[in-house]
Amino acid sequence: NAADFTFTNNTVSNNGSYGITGYGVTNAAITDNTIQDNGYAGIYLDGSTGVLIQRNTVQNHSQYGIYLSSSTATISDNNQILNNGQYGIYATASTLSITGNTISDHTTAAIYLDHDTRLGSTVSGNTLSGNALDDVLIGGTISADVTWSGTYLVASITVAADVTLTIQPGTVVKFAQGGSISISGTLSAVGTAALPIYFTSLKDDTVGGDTNGDGAATIPERGNWGYLQFAAGSSDSVLDNVVVRYG
C-alpha cells in the first residue's frame, strides 16, 4: 500500500504474476516505464484511487496488459499496450478515463469493462488495431435501471433483481463466443416492424457493421453465442419485434 507514490522511467520485466501491483494505492503516478514479459498482467490495481498511468509500454503478458478492480484511474497520453494475451485493459467496479492510447494484438478484445464501469467511464481517442475485437466488450451485472440504444458488444451480462434493462428500437446487441444475458429483473425489448431489435453474433456483419473487423473472413452460424435466460424471480419482461439469431 502506498500514498502519493511515483514510479517513473523504470524497466520491469520477467517477474512472476505481475509487473506492478497496487492494493489500496492513492494518488499514484505510473509513467514512462517499460513493463514487459511478466506473468499474468503488466499492471494490477485493486482498491486504488487517483492513479495516473501515462506513456508506458506494457507488453507481452499472458492475460492482461492493465487489470483494475474497484479503482479509479486515468490511463492516457500514449500508453503502448501490446500483445498481452486476452485483453489490453480489463476493469471491474471502477471509474476510468481511457484516452489517447495504442492497444494492439490481443486475443479477445482491446478492452473489457463490466457494465457499471462502462457507464461511469470515458473511453475515447484510442488507436485499436490487430485485436480480435477492436472495441470495448462489456459484461458483469447491471445494477440500476438503464436504457440501451445503438450497438452493444456483450460477453455475459446479468440484469439484477428489481432492475430493468430497456432496449430501444433499432438497437443491435452482439455477443462474443459463449455470451449471454441472464435476467433476474426485467428485460423490456420493444422494437418496431421498421426498427427491430437484434440479438446476434459478433460475426454478423448484416446489422451493426463489421464489428470484428475481418471482412468476410468469418460468417455467423448457430451456436456462436449462448442465450437469453429468464430466472425464476424475473418479472414483466417483454420482447416485441425482436430478432434472435446464431445463439
Q: Mind spelling out the 3-state secondary structure of the chain?
A: CCECCEEECCEEECCCCEEEEEECCECCEEECCEEECCCCEEEEEECCECEEEECCEEECCCCEEEEEECCEEEEECCCEEECCCCEEEEEECCEEEEECCEEECCCCEEEEEEHHHHHHCEEECCEEECCCCCCEEEEEEECCCEEECCEEEEEEEEECCCCEEEECCCCEEEEEEEEEEEECCEEEEECCCCCCEEEEECCCCCCCCCCCCCCCCCCCCCCCCCEEEECCCCCCCEEECEEECCC
If pLDDT is split at 50, 70 and 90, which confidence band does 3 have? Answer: low
Whether the per-residue pLDDT at 2 is higher than 90: the answer is no
Mean pLDDT, the chain, integer: 95
Model confidence pLDDT, tens digit, residues 103-116: 999 999 999 999 99
For residue 4, pLDDT beyond 90 = no
- Mean pLDDT score, 170-184: 97
Confidence of residue 236 (pLDDT cuts 50, 70, 90): very high
Q: Which tens digits make up the pLDDT trace of 144-162?
A: 999 999 999 999 999 999 9
| Average pLDDT rounded to a whole number, residues 65-79 | 98
Contact yes or no for 97/118 (Cβ under 8 A): no
User: pLDDT-based confidence at 1, cuts 50/70/90?
Assistant: low
* pLDDT tens column, 13-69: 999 999 999 999 999 999 999 999 999 999 999 999 999 999 999 999 999 999 999
Q: CA-to-CA distance for 227 and 145, rounded, in angstroms? A: 21
pLDDT confidence of residue 218: 86
Beta bridge partners of 89: 66, 111
- Neighbouring-strand partners of residue 171: none
The pLDDT of residue 216 is 82
**Residue 231: what pLDDT?**
95
Backbone angles phi, psi at 194, to 5 degrees: -80, -30
